[in-house]
Structure 1
Amino acid sequence: MIARGGCKVLELAILGALKEKPMYGYELKKRLSDLLGHLWKISYGSLYPALKRLESKSAVERAYTVKAKTRNRYVYRITPEGEEAFQRLLVDTRKRSEITDADKFSIRLAFFQYMEPEMRLWLLERRKNYLEERLNEMSGTSKSRYKDTDSYRQGLYTHRQELLKSDITWLEDMIESERDHIQESKKDKESKKDKETLTVEERGGEKLVIDDGSIKNMTPLQA
């Protein structure tokens, strides 16, 4: 469960959820529970103070009200300032715990679609390197530390190792997929650039070389 630095993490999650669409409090709480429920129990006691903080920073605003049976509901939406704040929080990994803490890493992973591909790849590789260090440490001390322990503790230790191996394998797949995505994007950009900078058309016995939409050269076609 997330504890230290929880305010910033909650603000990141709220801004990320509001990027999807404007929401009122109950709807926002439900969406955050769907996103973070396995990491953090979202309560109104933490949600509304966080919304108030974000409002004071002009990152969130009350767009309009929705009439309800008992009282009107405020619908919150992210502002341009909030968009900038979200991006800053999303890529702020100055603290090592943003990589090593599984919950904090998972929250960023939930909003990976809003990151640049190179940043996603960097975070995935950092997380994988950290888990590999953990696994190597466990493997190096397993024989001496658990030599005389009972089978239950040995089983727990083995289980932890298997979880680390599973996470590393999953990250390797994610990294490979991200690298492929980056390469494909580069190829698409290069192909698009080539088409924009040089287009050859044949018209009435002439070859028109068109650069960025304007004719740069005109030569007769060879018979």
Structure 2
Amino acid sequence: MTKRSDSLDMAVIGLLLESPLHGYELRKRLNLLLGWSRLLSYGSLYPALKKLLRQGYVTDAFEPDAVARRQRITYTITDAGREHFAAQMSESGPAAWEDDAFDVRFSFFAQSAGDVRLRVLEGRRARLQERLERIRPVRAGADRYAQELHRHRVESVERELTWLTGLIETERDSHQHQQTNTTPDK
């Protein structure tokens, strides 16, 4: 999963795991979930849904809508969609901690195993540490606005690193606690 469209597909399947949804409600929930800088358009959502239908990950059904006096399409996840989502959530390589992919994956982290979550969090932290090293030096001769934007970017990455470090510590503690509670007594 490397492209924004792949992230959208994963988010759609993840939401449909919770319950069947029609397009309007799906778009509304996606906008809340993804928090992308601009709202998701129907022009992006419906092609994604058509692709997921072709791949067999979702099905559609027409249902009457008493309020609008017309039929609406409700989308439901298939068994193949569940398997695909589970496979995606078990991946922990570099694509899992890129910006858009990480946000979507993190939204459904409860669906991942603890060791996968930990690898993804650690990978994201390593990626951000690399980014911080690249952006930290201030460009010589930059005006005050460029300097402020630079400072904002550095502080944003530093805040996310602090947040990730806390999540990693919590995840490690939880993992150790689970191992302690599942170790048989001698």
TM-score normalised by length of structure 2: 0.86
SS of aligned partner of 2:132: helix
Aligned to 1:201: none
SS of aligned partner of 2:70: coil
Give the AA of the match of 1:6: R
| CA separation of 1:27 and 1:153: change in aligned 2, threshold 3 A | closer
Aligned to 1:216: none
Aligned to 1:70: 69
Kindly report which structure 2 residues correspond to 1:146-185, keeping only aligned pairs within 5 A, or say none: 146=140, 148-185=141-178
Aligned to 1:20: 18
Unaligned stretches of 5+ in structure 2? none
**How far off is 1:12 after superposition?**
0.6
Kindly report which structure 2 residues correspond to 1:37-52, keeping only aligned pairs within 5 A, or say none: 37-39=35-37, 41-52=39-50
| CA separation of 1:117 and 1:93: change in aligned 2, threshold 3 A | closer
The whole-number CA distance in structure 2 between the counterparts of 1:43 and 1:156 is: 29
SS of aligned partner of 1:72: strand
Q: Pick the aligned partner of 1:132 from 118, 129, 134.
A: 129
Task: Please say if residues 98 and 105 of structure 1, whose CA atoms lie closer than 8 Å, have aligned partners that are also in contact.
Answer: yes
- Structure with larger RCO (C-alpha < 8 A, sep 6+): 2
The whole-number CA distance in structure 1 between the counterparts of 2:63 and 2:145 is: 57
Aligned to 1:107: 104
SS of aligned partner of 1:165: helix
Unaligned stretches of 5+ in structure 1? 199-223
Give the AA of the match of 1:115: S
For the pair shown, the structure with the greater C-alpha radius of gyration is 1
The whole-number CA distance in structure 1 between the counterparts of 2:161 and 2:73 is: 43
| CA separation of 1:92 and 1:66: change in aligned 2, threshold 3 A | farther
The whole-number CA distance in structure 2 between the counterparts of 1:49 and 1:158 is: 39
| Length, aligned pairs only | 184
Aligned to 2:81: 82
**How far off is 1:129 after superposition?**
1.0
SS of aligned partner of 2:59: strand
**How far off is 1:164 after superposition?**
1.5
Q: Please tell me the root mean square deviation across aligned C-alpha atoms, in Å.
A: 2.3
Moved more, 113-122 or 65-74: 65-74
Task: Please say if residues 22 and 75 of structure 2, whose CA atoms lie closer than 8 Å, have aligned partners that are also in contact.
Answer: yes
The whole-number CA distance in structure 1 between the counterparts of 2:110 and 2:162 is: 21
Moved more, 71-80 or 175-184: 71-80
Aligned to 1:211: none
The structure with more helix, counted as a fraction of residues? 2
